Structure 1
C-alpha cells in the first residue's frame, strides 16, 4: 500500500482503497469580522497516564493548550470545559477547574494581541456537575451554578451557562426553570450565553425548559431572556434547524444565536434575510482551517466561496456526530491524532474505544474527501497502523 492511498473498512469487514486528496491550503486571518465562531476543544491525555474509566483525568497540558492555540491562530474563539462528551464522561471536577484556569491564562495573551477582551476569545462552561449525581432542591441547583460561576468569572473568561442534569430532575415546570435562571443571572457580573442542549447529546435533558413540546420550550427560554439584561446569547444544540431559525428571529436585539447544530451549520451560519447564526460548535475543533477560511469568504461577501469551502465538511461532521451522539468527541480526538496534534489516539476515560473501526474509517473517508487531513502522509501512516493493531492488516506472526 502506498502513501497515496487509504484503506477503508466497511462494517461487514470488507476493505477498499481510495486515493488521497490534497489538503486545502488556507491563509490565517488577522481577524474574522462577519461572524463570531467558537470551537469546542477537547483535552489531550498524558500518554503514560491512567486514563481509564472512573479514575481522575491525567492531562497532557502542553498538547491540550497547544490545541487551543491552533484554534486561536485561525481567528476562532475557544469554548472550553463545556464539552458534554467528556465533562460528564471522564473529565473530573478537579481537572475541569484546572483546565479553566490554564486556558484563561493562555487566552489573556491572545486577547491582548487581538485587542479584545478575554471573554471574546474564550468562553467556559458553568454547570452543576461538580456535585454528586443526586436529587437536589432548586435552591441547591442555584448555589451549585453560582459556585462554578464565581470560579470562571474570576478568570475573565466568558460564561456559557450549561444545561444542568440536576435542574432537569428538580424542575417541575417552566416556572421552576425561570426561577433558577433568574437567580443565577442576577449573580452574574457580565452577560452570559445560555445553553440549550437537546436529548440527542444528553437524554437526561429531555424536556428541558419545562416541556418536551418544542413549541412550548422556546417560549420559556425567551421569557427567561426577556426578564434579564445579562444574556449575551443562546447556544442551541437541538439539531433542529427550523426551530433554531424560529428562536433566532424571536430573540431581543443584542442577543445572539450561537448554533450548536453540527448537522446543518452551513446554512445557519450563512443565514437568510432575517439574520444569521454565529457558531459555537464541536465540529469546528476538527475543521478549524476550513471554518476560518469560509468565514473569511463571508467577510468579503463571497457566499459562494463560503459554501464551496465549508459545504463539504458537513458530511464529515455528520459522521463524527452520528448516533450515539454523546461519543462524538472520539472523532475529534481521532482527527487531532491523524493531523499530528497529539502523539497518541487516546482520551480521558478511555473514550477512544467508544467508536468502532468502521466508524473511524467513515471519518477518514469524509476527512480525505473534504481536504481536512492536513498531512496526508502522516494520516495514512497512523490510520494504517491502527488498522494493523485492529487486525485488519496482518502484521508479524499469526
Structure 2
C-alpha cells in the first residue's frame, strides 16, 4: 500500500485506502484532510450547509467529494432523521409502451431536484403493499405510485405520496381520457366529415372513461352508436369490422390504444376498405407507431411530460409541507391529438432521426408543433 506523507503545507500523495498509525480513514476524513478542514465541516458541506465554511472551501470540498466518488450513508442519514434524498417510485406495468417514457420523464424531474429514484414494479396488490412497506423501511423522502391495484388502500400512506394515472377519486392527478377521445372524434367530424363512428378496444370495461366520452359525443351530434369492437370478447373482430363498414356504414374507428388501430390498418389495407382512403382510424397513447409505421397513426397523445412535471412538483410540495393525504380535487391533465396519416391528413415528414418510444416531447419542436391539436 502506498504510504501517506503529511508535510506542513498539506501536500501529500493519495491512495485507495489511507491509514494513519494503522487506522483506516473514511472518505469524509480523507476529504477533510486534503481540504485542510475538520470532518464535521465536510459533513456540514455535504449536507448542504453553506454557512459553515468560506465559499472557496465549500467548492473545494464538493470537488474533492466528486473525485473520491463520495456516496452518503443513507442508512445513517435515515437513522438520524435526515433526508436520504431518495424518492420511491412504484410503476406496476413495464409491458406498456408508455411506461418507459413516463418513468424516464419522472426520474429526470426528480434528478433535477438533486434526488435519486428507487423503482419497484409490483404485479398484484400483495406485491404493491410489499413495495410500499419496503420504501417506508428505507425511509425514502416521498413516494410516487403510477397505478393502484387495491383502491381501498389508496390514500393511507404514512409519508408524502403522489398517486397518478389512476381513476378519479383515488388519485392526485390523472389524464382527462374523455377529452382525448373528443379531440380525435371532433377532428374527424369537422376536418374530414365523418359521421359514422365505431369504438375499437380490447374491452370497454377497462376503458370506461373513453367509452363514455365517445357515447356522449355521438349523442350530442345525434349520430348512431353501433356495438363496440371488443377484441377480447369478440371471436372474430375482423368479421365484425367488415360488418360495421358494409352494413352500418362506419367510416371511422376510434381506438383506445395504438396497437389495435395499427393492426386494424394492416388488415384494412388487405381489403378494398383502405386506410387512409375509405376508412379513418385513430389511436390513443402517441407511441412510435405515430411516425415510424408505413402509415403514420393519428392518435391522442398521452401527456407524459406534463404528468412527470406536475406530479413531481406536487410531491415535493407535499414533502415541504409534510403532507401525505391525497389532493382533495384531483388534477386533470389534458392530452393532445397528433394529426398523422390514418385520419386523412398528410402526416409529418420522416427525417430518420426520431427515436422516441412516445411522441409527447415532439410537440414542442417547431417543425412538428402544427401537427398537434389541443
TM norm structure 2: 0.26
Tell me which of the two structures has the higher relative contact order, counting C-alpha pairs closer than 8 angstroms and 6 or more residues apart: 1
TM-score by length of 1: 0.25
Pick the structure with more helix per residue.
Answer: 1
